[in-house]
Structures are given as structure tokens and as C-alpha cells.
A and B are shown apart, each in its own frame.
Chain A
Amino acid sequence: MDQKVILIADDADLNREMLKLIFNEQFYILEARDGQEAIDTIAANKETLSVIFLDLVMPNKDGIEVLKYMADENLKGRIPVIMITGEATDATDEKAYEYGASDIIYKPFSPNVVMRRTLNIIELFESKAILEKQLVEETNQFDQITNELKESNAFLIDMLSSVVEFRGTESSDHISHIQTFTSIMLNYVREYYPKYGLTEEQCKLITIASALHDLGKISIPDSILLKPGKLTPEEFAEMKKHTTFGSDIIAASKKNDSEFYTYCYDICRYHHERYDGNGYPDRLSGDDIPIWAQVVSIVDVYDALINKRVYKPVYEYNEAMRMIKDGECGVFSPEIMDCFDLAKEELIATTIIK
């Protein structure tokens, strides 16, 4: 049967008997004669208890200790506690509420009032529990949808990037390398250079956006993109345009101003800029180059060095590190160089595993 269970904890049997008289038709009644018994009974029946009547002054642990036990066990919001007290003073009332009682009844008991308030409080807690359950379910659903959206976004971006990659000459793992290296570098930037104000969530978005850095190569003719050997100055000038082609494509697809749009645009356009102003296409310098573009720049160079390309041999990791440090691939900011140094071991480890 669906009979509700209540616990009456009071050291005076007369008080328990009076409450039993009120409730024994509608409820299944458990009794405790002191605080310790109350705690044991609560522990054994915490799933089924609908309400607890608790006397404040009891031997072997008083009512306050029972409430503390309930707070420790996280039962406070789940099982309502009605304090039984002899004196209706503001001080004792305040104390009872402060320790988490839901309501207070005074001796002598008035049966109708006690019954009415008890039923109200049970109903209140039951609907609260139902609402909480619904909220948890809805939150789970929402999280699931958000995750699916994030996954499908990342999937589409990877696919788009792969289209460029397959046509090009870069190793098939270039995109995933860039993302992994970008993520590693960003962790160091975030930790050691709080001045850039990067959050974990922003770093995730930047990592996704990094896949698109060479998107503009889709507009570079095969004769240049796939040419083995050195490009002529005219061809190189054309090749450099992949940065602006990329940012143009991004700008053309712009729906609204968002962080993610900015990361995609900046990374496409500025990932060949250099700290000293000797990069392209806009010859930006210093921290005019967004930090996310600076990060993608250096990991793009690093990945290019350690992988074979039509136009260059493959370099060993340490040699690649040395070339970057010596400025052979252009100048990077001191902060970026510092993070690259900090990330060195991790970058090499990830590269070897791959």
C-alpha cells in the first residue's frame, strides 16, 4: 500500500501517543525515544520517510544533532522536519529554522492544525521533488542537445578543412595536428599569461577554429598549390592570398557577430603575420596580431617543419624547435616563444605518438 511513513521522535511517550492518535489512521508510524534512535531510524528509512516530528530536548543527542546529521547526509531538502517545542518564543523558533526545520508545532498539540500543516508540508516537499526531477531531466536533455550541436559543428568544420587538405599537399593529419598543438599551446598561454584573458571555453572555440586556417587555399590554382619545387615571386605572391581568400569566405558566411566568427576570421587572415611586422597579408606587428592567430602561426610552422612537403624535406623535432627559436621561420612574440618552450615536451610527445 502507498501509506506514507512518518517518524515521531520525542522522549516523552505521552507526546508520541498524542501524535500517533492524530496520525495512525492515515500514516505508518515509526517512533524514536531519543536523538540516537531518531538518527538510526532515519538512516534505515530515508527513502520512504514523508515527514519527521522532532523534539528539541531529548537525551542521547538532542534535536539539533539530529538536524545536523540530516544536513550532513543531504537529507534536509528531501524530508521535511517539523519541530515539536514547548515554548513559543522567537528565540527557539529562530534556532529551529536556522538548523533547517520546515515548520514548528507547539505543545499542547491541536490535532486539526497539526494534521493540516503536516499534509501541507508533505505536499510541498513532494511537488518540490517532482519539479526538481523534471528540472534535472530537462537540463540533461538540454546538455545532450548542446553536445550534439557542438559535435556536429566540429564535424562540419573538420570536413570543410579536409576538403582543402585533400586537394593540397599537406599531410592528411595536418588539420588534427594543428588542433592538438593549438590546444596544448593555448593551455600554457591561459595559465602563464592571464593578461590575454582567455577562458577555457574560448580556448575550445579557438581550437576548433584553428582547423580552418588554410581554408583560403581552396581558391589557389593547382598549378601553384601543387607545384613541386620553389615558387616564382609572382606565384608566391598569389599563394600568399590564401589568407585573405580565407577571411573573405568566412566574412561572406557571416551570420552575426560572435566570438567564434572572430576566431575563424582572424586565424584565416593573420596566421602568417609575424611579431616584427614582416608577415603577410596586412604586415601587422606586436599584439595587433590577435593572440589566437599568433598561436596558430607558430604551430602551423612547427607542423610544416616536421612533416614532408612538396617544397621541403622533413626536419627532426629538435631541429624544428631550434629553427623556430633561432628565428629562421620569422619572429614570434616573447610570450609565444616562452609558451612554445614550456609546451616543447608535450608537443614532441604528442607528435611521436601520432
Chain B
Amino acid sequence: MTAKEFYDKIGGNYNEIIGRLMSEDIIPKFCDIFFENDCYQQLLDGMNEKNVDKAFRAAHTLKGISANMAFTQLTLISSAITECLRAGDMDGASIIFPKLKREYEKAESAYEELKN
């Protein structure tokens, strides 16, 4: 799997990330940093604990790093959840969360494929 195929598969913008990183070679390095960030786990915990503040911070971080990675789908959905949580709307966030979980896990497994 090429980096381009990886981006296509997860609903990302390949041209945008090349514009930002200037080289395809360092995409894996940045993917590593992305998936090592514990914000997704924090968001999961925050949702389970019904801790709005914790969940908001995590969603906000996820949104920022997804945007920087040009993971467009993930950016849109984490942005939506961030805005729910900013408004303190835990129920709204809970409705969106499963979709975010699907997208994140899809990205994660596609990345495993890219590495192998």
C-alpha cells in the first residue's frame, strides 16, 4: 500500500499532507506520532466517565492533530464532537462518538497495512 492509497482509504487529503511535509518519506514518522498521542484514549475515557472537560480537551487535541495530518474525515468528525463538548452537550457527543470510533479504528488498521 502506498501513502497515497492510505490517504484515499481513510478519507484523507494526500496532496495537502505533501504540501505540508514536503516529502512522502516522513509521512510514516508523523503517523507514528499521531497514533502515539493518547488523546483518543483520553477521549474514550472521558466519554465513559461522562467527564465533559476531559473529553473536550482530548477531542480538541484530536481535531488539531487530525487537521495537521490532513486526515479530513477524522478532522470533520472530531470537530463536530469538539463543538458538542464545548457546549457541554454530552448526549450529542455520545451520538457522534461511535462514528468517530469507526473512523479512528479504520485509520489505525489502514496504517498497520501501510507499515507492512
Of B2-10, B14-22, B90-98, B103-111, the segment with at least 4 beta carbons within 8 Å of chain A is: B14-22
Tell whether, in the assembled complex, residue A86 and residue B39 are in contact, meaning their CB atoms are under 8 Å apart.
no
Nearest residue in B to A56 (C-beta to C-beta)? Answer: B60
Contact A13 B37, CB 8 Å, known A110-B19, A110-B20: yes
Tell whether, in the assembled complex, residue B20 and residue A12 are in contact, meaning their CB atoms are under 8 Å apart.
no
Q: Does A221 contact B (CB under 8 A)?
A: no
Tell whether, in the assembled complex, residue A15 and residue B65 are in contact, meaning their CB atoms are under 8 Å apart.
yes
Tell whether, in the assembled complex, residue B30 and residue A12 are in contact, meaning their CB atoms are under 8 Å apart.
no
Tell whether, in the assembled complex, residue A109 and residue B68 are in contact, meaning their CB atoms are under 8 Å apart.
yes
Residues from chain A with a CB closer than 8 A to the CB of B61 are 11-12, 57
* Chain B: minimal CB distance from A48 (Å): 27
Kindly identify, within residues 57 to 83 of chain B, every residue whose CB is under 8 Å from any CB belonging to chain A: 57, 60-61, 63-65, 67-70, 75, 79, 82
Interface of A is mostly: loop
Q: Does A252 contact B (CB under 8 A)?
A: no
Kindly identify, within residues 55 to 72 of chain A, every residue whose CB is under 8 Å from any CB belonging to chain B: 57, 59
A110 to B68, CA, bound (A): 9
A21 to B19, CA, bound (A): 12
Contact of B60 (CB < 8 Å), options: A13, A57, A108: A57
A11 to B62, CA, bound (A): 11
Contact A14 B33, CB 8 Å, known A57-B57, A86-B64, A108-B68: yes
Tell whether, in the assembled complex, residue A21 and residue B21 are in contact, meaning their CB atoms are under 8 Å apart.
yes
Contact of A14 (CB < 8 Å), options: B19, B57, B60, B69: B69
A57 to B26, CA, bound (A): 27
Nearest residue in A to B70 (C-beta to C-beta)? Answer: A108
Indicate with 1 or 0, residue by residue over A7-34, a CB within 8 angstroms of chain B CB atoms.
Answer: 0000111110110010000000000000
Residues from chain A with a CB closer than 8 A to the CB of B82 are 86
Residues from chain B with a CB closer than 8 A to the CB of A109 are 20, 68
Tell whether, in the assembled complex, residue B67 and residue A17 are in contact, meaning their CB atoms are under 8 Å apart.
no
Indicate with 1 or 0, residue by residue over A32-66, a CB within 8 angstroms of chain B CB atoms.
Answer: 00000000000000000000000001010000000
Residues from chain A with a CB closer than 8 A to the CB of B33 are 13-14, 17
Tell whether, in the assembled complex, residue A14 and residue B20 are in contact, meaning their CB atoms are under 8 Å apart.
no
B: which residues have CB within 8 A of A? Answer: 16, 19-22, 26, 30, 33-34, 36-37, 39, 57, 60-61, 63-65, 67-70, 75, 79, 82
12 contacts between A and B (CB under 8 A): A12-B64, A14-B30, A14-B34, A15-B68, A17-B33, A18-B30, A21-B26, A57-B60, A86-B60, A107-B67, A109-B68, A111-B20
